[in-house]
Amino acid sequence: MEPSNLEKQRQPEEPRYLNFKHSQPGSGLNRYSSTLTREHDFPAAQAMLYAAGVPNEHVLKTYPQVGIASVWWEGNPCNMHLLDIGKEAKKCIEKQEMLGWQYNTIGVSDGIAMGGEGMRFSLQTREIIADSVETVTCAQHHDACIAIPGCDKNMPGVVMGMARHNRPSLMIYGGSINPGYSKLLQKPINIASVYEAHGGYLYDSLKNPSDPSQTKEDLLNDIEKHACPTQGACGGMFTANTMATAIETMGLTVPGSSSTPASSPAKMRECQKAAEAIKICMEKDIKPRDLMTKKAFENALVMMMALGGSTNGVLHLLAMAGTAEVQLELKDFQRISGKVPFIADLAPSGKYLMVDLFEIGGIPSVQKLLIVAGLLDGSTLTVTGKTLAENVESWPSLKQGQEMIKSLESPIKPSGHIEILYGNLAPNGAVAKITGKEGMKFVGKAKVFNKEHELDDALNKGQIPRGENLVLVVRYEGPKGGPGMPEQLKASAAIMGAGLKNVSLITDGRYSGASHGFIVGHISPEAVVGGPVALVKDGDTITIDADNNRIDMDVSDEELKQRLSEWKPPKMPVTRGVLAKYARLVGDASTGAMTDLF
């Protein structure tokens, strides 16, 4: 009899990740930890486990062991509360007659690092987090894993780790921050408001129309102090929430995890649901790769397009799929974007935040809408042991009269906001975030900057003029060239805040989910390997045509060949340490900037 697709997934012909032999004594759920705890094969390991808190032999021999991996650290509102969520998850695990072992991995605050050299360390934390989850789970023989991420790279990092060890796993999202409020401007604000206010500050357009006496220093100080009032990840449909909603839609969290605010009591109550779900996964042998199917990834893309998610979602979903050995390509994003309407009036391009969506039903209510419309496949399996459709069947529909999620008949844009562009500037592809509010085509003269800080300096000095259409080109900031593919939020937000509508920004680096405007990133091949973006000169005419998915410079093939023959790769900015190691290992942005390619 021909094996099912599920059996094929569980028994790959050529496994690329380490698979351990295991025995199954005791409860039947401790199939990995029993390697250490059965009989007296590893007496020293048992001694260490008793010292760590195992109370007696019965618990040691029969209780499964669940690793609880939080990306907790102080100094960042996205992550500062995750240790407390982990402690609650441990209590709930113990109520299920299982052992919970908390451990930690590292993170970087994109909000703090943005615009500085620290941002070069951000993307590579995704790989370190994945390495950590894989390492601890396998080294300690954990039977299952609950991961608790908060900031941008955390979510794909923990899921990539899960896909590598492929033991029963789920994610608890740390949740979104509450909106801030500017006392002087008397309006809600968020982290993106700070970056855009800085652009207004630099170009002297930061003013309070109702009180001209307030200085730009007063206004910026007020915004800085009040933009982030609580714990939680950045509140718009930025990268953290993009990934959380995508991962929930793939079935790797309990329903509602991605839209439950960080400070809500419901976030702590979620821990009990997660403990129950992880036990179901262990009992039914539901593993991450059983959930991370092509259909599940396509569902994630549907949600990303409907909600206006971050361009970083392209990079991370490609890497998650690559780790799970699922065939996902840039063309899949374009295909899904072409058929899914953009319906969410969420920041950065809209006015609402995730906490507002929570109040009208949250992500499960949006999933319910999209399943009924035939855009989401409700048959995919989830960590509850039920299908996606079964999970949301009893969930309330979106509240009547709400304006946040538009009807499918009257969307903000009839297709998705993510456009995959190709052309002589990006033979391997580029990723554009175009909501339609800025138009679908932009033509301008190139103004080239070889590093992000060069553009930041020019903006700080007011050297980007109004008037003639300009395409600002920031290069040598790709995965290898950065190194680390830093985000260009400081520049993109300054452009928006300054009201420079005559400007488009393109880069072989990437953007924060808070970025918006006529922006193109992930240009591939990147400049440092001799991609065409390295050959652009000031004054070249660049055309960005989202209707036809093209990005081209008005330079002949012959001229490009001549320029390439004269081009010399720049000296690598770092030759030792973690960034140099990352630059040597990392792959192309068009395949997710992975470091574990085989």
pLDDT at 22 over 80: no
Architecture of domain 64-177+233-392: 3-Layer(aba) Sandwich (3.40)
- 418-591 in CATH: which number? 3.50.30.80
Q: Classify residue 377 as exposed, middle or buried by CB count within 10 Å of its CB (0-12, 13-18, 19+).
A: middle
Question: Going by C-beta distance under 8 Å and a sequence separation of 6 or more, which residues neighbour residue 575?
Answer: none
Q: How far apart are CA 242 and CA 333, in angstroms?
A: 14
Distance, in Å, from the CA atom of 219 to the CA atom of 209, rounded to the nearest integer, reads 12
Per domain, the residue ranges of the chain are 64-177+233-392, 180-226, 418-591
Cis status of the peptide bond prior to 64, with omega within 30 of 0: no
Q: Which of 512, 515, 524, 590 is catalytic?
A: 512
The closest alpha carbon to 488, from 66, 110, 77, belongs to 110
- Outline where DSSP puts E strands in 34-189: 65-70, 99-104, 144-148, 169-171, 180-182, 187-189
Q: Is 518:495 a contact under the CB 8 Å cutoff?
A: no
Spatial contact of 430 and 551, defined as CB atoms under 8 Å apart: yes
User: What is the per-residue pLDDT across 407-426, written as a single tens digit (0 to 9) for each?
Assistant: 999 999 999 999 999 999 99
Q: What is the pLDDT of residue 115?
A: 82
* Residue whose pair of structure tokens reads 């401007």 in the numeric block: 185
Output the DSSP codes for 168-234.
SEEE----BPPPEEETTTTEEE-HHHHHHHHHHHHTT----TT-TTS-HHHHHHHHHHHS--SSSB-
Q: What is the pTM of this model?
A: 0.94
Angle value at C-alpha 309, between 306 and 315, nearest 5 degrees: 125
Predicted confidence at residue 276, as pLDDT, reads 98
Percent residues over pLDDT 70 in the chain: 95
Cα 222 to Cα 220: distance, rounded to the nearest angstrom: 5
Token digits of residue 302 = 């549907």
- Contact in structure between 314 and 333 (CB atoms under 8 Å): yes
According to DSSP, residue 413 is labeled B
Instruction: Name the least confident of 265-279, 386-400, 498-512.
Output: 498-512
Compute how many other C-beta atoms are within 10 angstroms of the C-beta atom of residue 591.
19
Please write the tens of the pLDDT for every residue from 542-596.
Answer: 999 999 999 999 999 999 999 999 999 999 989 999 999 999 999 999 999 999 8
Euclidean distance between CA atoms 535 and 448, whole angstroms: 10
Rounded Cα distance, 441 and 447, in Å = 18
Count, residues in the chain: 598
Alpha-carbon gap, residue 451 to 453, rounded angstroms: 5
Q: What is the mean pLDDT of the chain?
A: 93
Q: How many CA atoms lie within 13 A of 137 on its CB side?
A: 32
Tell me whether domains 64-177+233-392 and 418-591 share a fold: no
Q: What is the mean pLDDT of residues 349-364?
A: 96
DSSP 288-318: HHHH--HHHHHHHHHHHHHHT--THHHHHHH
Residue 174: pLDDT over 80: yes
314 has pLDDT over 80: yes
Q: What is the mean pLDDT of residues 339-347?
A: 96
- Predicted pLDDT of residue 196: 87
Query: Does the active-site annotation cover 556?
Result: no
